[in-house]
A and B are shown apart, each in its own frame.
Chain A
Amino acid sequence: MSIDKYNDAIKKKLESIAPKFEQTDWDEMKSFMALNVPKGSLWNRYGRFFLYSTGAILLLSSLFFNLKQNYDNKSLLKANELLLKKFDAKQVVKTEKVYQTDTVYLTKYITKWHTIDNTIAQSNFEENLKTTDSQPFITNNKIIENETKAVLLSPNRGNQTYQNTVNINKLGSQNKNNSSKDVENFQTISQTRNETFKQTFEPINVPKNTATKEINELVSDNKIQNISELNSIPFNSNAYLWTKQYPKINLITKIPVDALAQRNHITIKLPSVSLANLKYRVGVSFDVGNEQIGGSLLSDVLLSKHWSMNTGLRFLNITGKSYYTAEQYLFDTKQDFRKLYAPYVPVNDDIINLDFQNYLLQIPIGITYRYPLRNDFTLLFSATTDLDLYVGQYINFDYKEDNGKFEQGTYESKLSKSLLYNLELSAGLEKKYKRMIFQIHPYISAQLKETAYKKEEFMLGAKMRFFVNLGK
């Protein structure tokens, strides 16, 4: 009798049990299966939903940002247009000349004989016939002047120092004003004259025309003498004291050439991707995720205000599985560790504490949508994938030698590389301080295909990045 035989006897008895199958057993199994429908993997269950949601969110975000950008652009264009209008208006005010056609009626008066100061009248006459630009008002005025002088200084008048005084006050300077203002000025100056000269004559023939009444009254106060002489002045029919100039049309909406060019520049402006306009950044990144840790040297290229691309070199350590014993490894993976890694591991010794570590050298490629906020903060939405350059696996294990003491063994192997095996989506925040840029991104990484070193379908993590602005 031995314990082993006793155990074997029990084992045989227990293994010999074979319950019979009944149809009810399968029916129960079917109902159990119906209650526990296979859930499938997380990706299979929520993959489509996740992709569609991400797509929808991206589309909506893009739409929202584009609408906002469009609104901003429109408001800027409006502001620009308003400013241009103001600018044009100012230019118009500066260059605009208002031209009026005024009619001045001259009334002839019969004057009494008095001595008047001819020189004053002459000088006034000269001044009045000049425009603000000190140019002769009209060329025909010369004719009037000459003819008037000729009459006034006619030898037929002998000693009589008659002079017709025609006060036409500051017509040129008042051209910008309306006719009523002209009349007022006329009156004022006429009154001033009254103080200088004695009023020794009276008007004989005052036209009853209402339009000329005021002027007549005003002029009647002047010391105009010898109306008969005036009547005899052969006025040139062309010598009207009015100017006729063609109105100049200044369009308010007319935009200066420079402004037009500027506006065209704004509206047609496209994101410049020429190397000269690109902004470059170089920096480092540190990322931590589920059972992985990595560091990168990165370069970031700002393609436009909203888009940037980054790439670089990434070193990644992924912690693999650990097993207490080689038997557990066999149990989990259905592969014999000793046979699999022979002759690098001892075949007959106990192997414990198996630890798998994966080291990867990768090229991350990412594209980022940037939404600038206030105070040099920027919202970042990026999608990244990794290309493997090198994948190495290091296995550490302990094995027992003859003396019974455990020794440490290692085995290094090269695993197959993968391209575009993952898609990493992240939303982050950037802060710019002078030439330095700090970024922090929480991210979710979805495994697109199975690799030898990564089994998890989804992974969460965070990245911290530091860049220095180069270029512009």
Chain B
Amino acid sequence: MNRNLFFNQKIPFSENNLESIIKLCLERNQNAQSLLYKQFFGYSKSVCLRYSSNQEEAKEILNEGFLKVFNNLDKYLPELSFKAWLRTIMVNTALNYYRDNKKYNQEISFDDVEDPIYDEDIINKISADEILVLVQKLPPSYRTVFVMHVVDGYNHREIGEILEINEGTSRSNFMKARVKLQSLVQKEFPHLYKDYHQETGKHSTK
């Protein structure tokens, strides 16, 4: 808890000065809160979206996450990156949301793709929003592990500890998530694979 920065130094308020916004947020100034929310809305919501199944869930996590931010701003250490701190809070809120709704999440069985093709070029041809929709279609347990590992950089042991599952389960869920995602890509964007096969055929005939 280090409030000295805010109480001992006079920082002129500016919309572009994060410290001044945070200082006012600590005083429960709604305009400052609104500014902070507005500034980090996109970033925070993107974190929430990839951990949720739809827009409504994402919004719920986002609001809860921001409430935690406003209530715990005094615990924020100014020498650290605010964005990283915000991201940690959002991820934790999303994980809590997942834990709270775990019993309602049904594991869906799916047919394994016989020969999954993991090509970054195919992914690059798909828009971010389309990828997000595909990720959101993953079952929550797979999606969570997948996003934690691929996007947020947790290893499987950490994922296991945080989600209170075995490391092996985490690995298994991750693999299944990737296969499922690939099958969804193939299903949603079959033309990309036709092109891929044609290109790979050309390469092979050459």
* B124 within 8 A of partner (CB): yes
Are B41's CB and A21's CB within 8 A?
yes
Q: Nearest B residue to A18 by beta-carbon distance?
A: B42
Most B-side CB within 10 Å, residue of A16, A29, A328, A331? A29
Provide a sorted-by-A list of 20 A–B residue pairs whose CB atoms are within 8 angstroms.
A1-B119, A2-B118, A6-B118, A10-B131, A10-B181, A11-B150, A13-B126, A13-B131, A14-B150, A14-B151, A17-B49, A18-B42, A21-B37, A26-B38, A38-B71, A325-B158, A325-B161, A328-B158, A334-B80, A334-B85
CA distance A257 to B34 in the complex (A): 87
With A1-B120, A21-B41 in contact, is A11–B151 under 8 Å at CB?
Answer: yes
With A6-B119, A9-B124 in contact, is A28–B59 under 8 Å at CB?
Answer: yes
Which residues of A lie under 8 Å from residue B45 when comparing CB positions? 18-19
Chain A proximity of B133: nearest CB distance (Å): 11
Contacts of A330-366 to chain B: CB distance below 8 A: 331, 334
Name which of B8-16, B62-70, B105-113 contacts chain A.
B62-70
Are B34's CB and A26's CB within 8 A?
yes
Are B46's CB and A15's CB within 8 A?
yes
Which residues of B lie under 8 Å from residue A36 when comparing CB positions? 67
Are B42's CB and A10's CB within 8 A?
no
Are B42's CB and A20's CB within 8 A?
yes
Chain A proximity of B82: nearest CB distance (Å): 12
* A8 within 8 A of partner (CB): yes
* B180 within 8 A of partner (CB): no
Summed over the interface, the residue pairs from A and B with CB atoms below 8 Å come to a total of: 93
Are A29's CB and B66's CB within 8 A?
yes
CA distance A461 to B131 in the complex (A): 55
* B26 within 8 A of partner (CB): no
Q: Which among B30, B46, B80 is the interface contact of A19 at CB below 8 angstroms? A: B46
Contacts of A199-217 to chain B: CB distance below 8 A: none
With A3-B118, A325-B158 in contact, is A10–B150 under 8 Å at CB?
Answer: yes
CA distance A324 to B163 in the complex (A): 13
Contacts of A1-47 to chain B: CB distance below 8 A: 1-3, 5-11, 13-21, 25-26, 28-30, 32-33, 36, 38
Which residues of A lie under 8 Å from residue B67 when comparing CB positions? 32-33, 36
* Chain B residues touching A, majority SS: helix
* B18 within 8 A of partner (CB): no
Which residues of A lie under 8 Å from residue B135 when comparing CB positions? 10, 14
Which residues of B lie under 8 Å from residue A21 when comparing CB positions? 37-38, 41-42
CA distance A38 to B73 in the complex (A): 12
Give the 3 A-B CB pairs with smallest separation, nearest first.
Answer: A18-B42, A9-B120, A9-B123
CA distance A21 to B161 in the complex (A): 35
Q: Point out residues on B near A: beta carbons under 8 Å.
A: 30, 34, 37-38, 41-43, 45-46, 49-50, 59, 63-64, 66-67, 70-71, 77, 80, 85, 88, 118-120, 123-124, 126-129, 131-132, 135, 147, 150-151, 157-158, 161, 178, 181
CA distance A296 to B78 in the complex (A): 43
Are B161's CB and A324's CB within 8 A?
yes
Contacts of A74-96 to chain B: CB distance below 8 A: none
Chain B proximity of A9: nearest CB distance (Å): 4
Which residues of B lie under 8 Å from residue A30 when comparing CB positions? 30
Which residues of A lie under 8 Å from residue B64 when comparing CB positions? 32
Which residues of A lie under 8 Å from residue B49 when comparing CB positions? 17, 19
Contacts of A95-147 to chain B: CB distance below 8 A: none
Are B46's CB and A331's CB within 8 A?
no
Most B-side CB within 10 Å, residue of A13, A28, A325? A13
CA distance A374 to B152 in the complex (A): 68
CA distance A232 to B77 in the complex (A): 137
Are B129's CB and A17's CB within 8 A?
yes
Which residues of A lie under 8 Å from residue B71 when comparing CB positions? 38
Are A17's CB and B46's CB within 8 A?
yes
Chain B proximity of A7: nearest CB distance (Å): 5
Are A18's CB and B37's CB within 8 A?
no
Chain B proximity of A67: nearest CB distance (Å): 47
* A388 within 8 A of partner (CB): no
Which residues of B lie under 8 Å from residue A14 when comparing CB positions? 46, 50, 128, 131-132, 135, 147, 150-151
Which residues of B lie under 8 Å from residue A229 when comparing CB positions? none
Given contact pairs A19-B46, A327-B158, enumerate 20 new A-B contacts (beta carbons under 8 Å).
A1-B118, A1-B119, A3-B118, A6-B123, A9-B120, A10-B131, A10-B135, A11-B150, A13-B123, A14-B46, A14-B131, A14-B150, A18-B45, A19-B42, A19-B45, A21-B41, A26-B34, A32-B64, A33-B67, A33-B70
CA distance A25 to B41 in the complex (A): 9
Chain B proximity of A12: nearest CB distance (Å): 8
Chain A proximity of B193: nearest CB distance (Å): 13
Chain B proximity of A20: nearest CB distance (Å): 7
Contacts of A253-272 to chain B: CB distance below 8 A: none
CA distance A285 to B202 in the complex (A): 87
